[in-house]
Structure 1
């Protein structure tokens, strides 16, 4: 199988984002120590932090004993689970993302600071996210990127039911085995080796559907779903695979594999036109799901 031609697949603005991310990491000289990795990741996220839209009311609180950050808004709450391989990230790393989700949709957003590996192996993060979802009253939506997308899908499988209005998963790792894991094993921003490393730290079995939602056997009753993959990402095939399972079970799901984009492109939403369009798809879909609309025609 020929290696992907990333020079032609990835456009100039995205390459600039990749190089800026690499430079932000290099400036921190992260070593193998987990604390160093977290410090470097947080510093990189600060370098891309776009600030909060003016006038947004934000408070920190505990929900079901889990630290959370609430971004005020109307309507059903969007529970947001951050990415970071279940190892890095937190309330600060995705603060601007959550703030912009709230501002763009008008919905309240609740970011969940779940416990991280390896100190807290699976199912700690899943347990935290599920506890917050169960403790949040009224109708809710679920959203998350990367590891957070996997958590959202696992929580959706546990909850099901009418109060779950929808879920939006952004380049999630759902435990698939599609060809993208080989085709894009050496992709910029995330490699197949990185995926395996984080899985080892998490300590979950490959057939545990609470960790790998594609290992599940029952996809009935799941909410309307948008799942976004990035073309240049080992996880790309998980998006259409998950959507296909839901539609085969009689549900509604749409999958888009964003052309030329890479893992982590949420941070590029202000500098890369393709990433900006993908983020607009996220916000418009959350708003539609909150209003009870399916925005993808007969998909």
Structure 2
């Protein structure tokens, strides 16, 4: 794969800057060391919160959440951060959540779910589900589920479990998610050595989350392990074209379409996994983030602007 042609110089600069803080061989570090370098990397890219956004922190059961509000929000976004279920926390995606709040006017509830290997599956799902139940009981107006990478997978798992249990889910916006796709899909072969995320990285994090055992037929682990995709909320997915996880979005979209649901897949050319951190420095990432925010806002208003 000729990444020199696929990826523009702005994105390469972002990749190099990321590598200064979070080198490609970080998976060889201890878990504590991985978290330390990831948090330092996230802090290096973090932007200040807008003064219009008010932030508070709460405990839902045993789960910490950070709540962002601007004015009098009529909708809520539940956001699950990325990090392979191993790294990341409320701080690593603080600015993303703040900007979603500021630009949509919606309340954003960021979920500090437990991480592996200390807490294997289904701990992450249990935490996210507990927060969604709390949101549904606490706030009116409905909720949009959103998340990036591992958080996108977690949001999709929660959306599927919510069918017939919680009526307040208005939609889901998944940002370069892994969804449990077959590794024979083209993107896993074409982008096995992609910058920012390789196929070996995907396998590494999956093994930690599951404790090294293979999980099958469990849609709370991976949504594509489900056999029923009917009744899902309107779904918008954003993938990075240079990412082994790209075609999970295609598979999920096709499964939802086959079940008669609404799903849109937007594949962002020339971008790489983790590009949310590049939204202030890379034109392509900035444009994608605008589309992401508009998707969240539209689903919150129960608007579907995409062609069937």
Mark yes or no: TM-score above 0.5. Answer: yes
Give me the whole-angstrom Cα distance separating, in 2, the residues matched to 1:87 and 1:39: 12
Displacement after TM superposition at 1:115 (Å): 0.2
Contact 2:198-2:244 at 8 Å conserved across structures: yes
Structure 1 residues 50-129: aligned runs within 5 Å: 50-73=47-70, 74-129=73-128
The equivalent residue for 1:142 is 145
Displacement after TM superposition at 1:93 (Å): 0.2
Give me the whole-angstrom Cα distance separating, in 1, the residues matched to 2:116 and 2:26: 21
Displacement after TM superposition at 1:55 (Å): 2.1
The equivalent residue for 1:151 is 154
Structure 1 residues 20-31: aligned runs within 5 Å: 20-26=17-23
Contact 1:175-1:206 at 8 Å conserved across structures: no
**Equivalent residues, number:** 295
Give me the whole-angstrom Cα distance separating, in 2, the residues matched to 1:254 and 1:39: 36
- Taking structure 2 as the reference length, the TM-score comes to 0.93
Give me the whole-angstrom Cα distance separating, in 1, the residues matched to 2:274 and 2:163: 28
Instruction: Give the CA RMSD over aligned residues.
Output: 1.6
Runs of 4+ that moved beyond 4 A? 28-31
Contact 2:234-2:299 at 8 Å conserved across structures: yes
2:178 to 161, 170, 173: 173
Displacement after TM superposition at 1:29 (Å): 7.7
Give me the whole-angstrom Cα distance separating, in 1, the residues matched to 2:62 and 2:207: 27
Give me the whole-angstrom Cα distance separating, in 2, the residues matched to 1:55 and 1:164: 26
Displacement after TM superposition at 1:171 (Å): 0.3
Decide whether aligned partners of structure 1 residues 140 and 29 sit closer, same or farther in structure 2, where only a CA change above 3 A counts.
Answer: closer
Decide whether aligned partners of structure 1 residues 29 and 242 sit closer, same or farther in structure 2, where only a CA change above 3 A counts.
Answer: closer
2:265 to 255, 277, 281: 255
Contact 2:27-2:201 at 8 Å conserved across structures: no
CA deviation vs aligned residue, 1:68-89 (integer Å, no higher than 9, x gap): 0000140121000000000000
2:280 to 266, 270, 278: 270
Q: Does 1:212 align with 2:236?
A: no
Give me the whole-angstrom Cα distance separating, in 2, the residues matched to 1:179 and 1:221: 28
CA deviation vs aligned residue, 1:204-247 (integer Å, no higher than 9, x gap): 60432211111111111100110111100000001111111111
Displacement after TM superposition at 1:252 (Å): 0.4
Q: Does 1:184 align with 2:191?
A: yes
Give me the whole-angstrom Cα distance separating, in 1, the residues matched to 2:173 and 2:77: 10
Q: More deviation in 58-67 or 144-153?
A: 58-67
2:242 to 227, 232, 251: 232
- Taking structure 1 as the reference length, the TM-score comes to 0.96
Displacement after TM superposition at 1:10 (Å): 0.3
CA deviation vs aligned residue, 1:241-279 (integer Å, no higher than 9, x gap): 111111111110000111010000000000011101111
The equivalent residue for 2:30 is 33
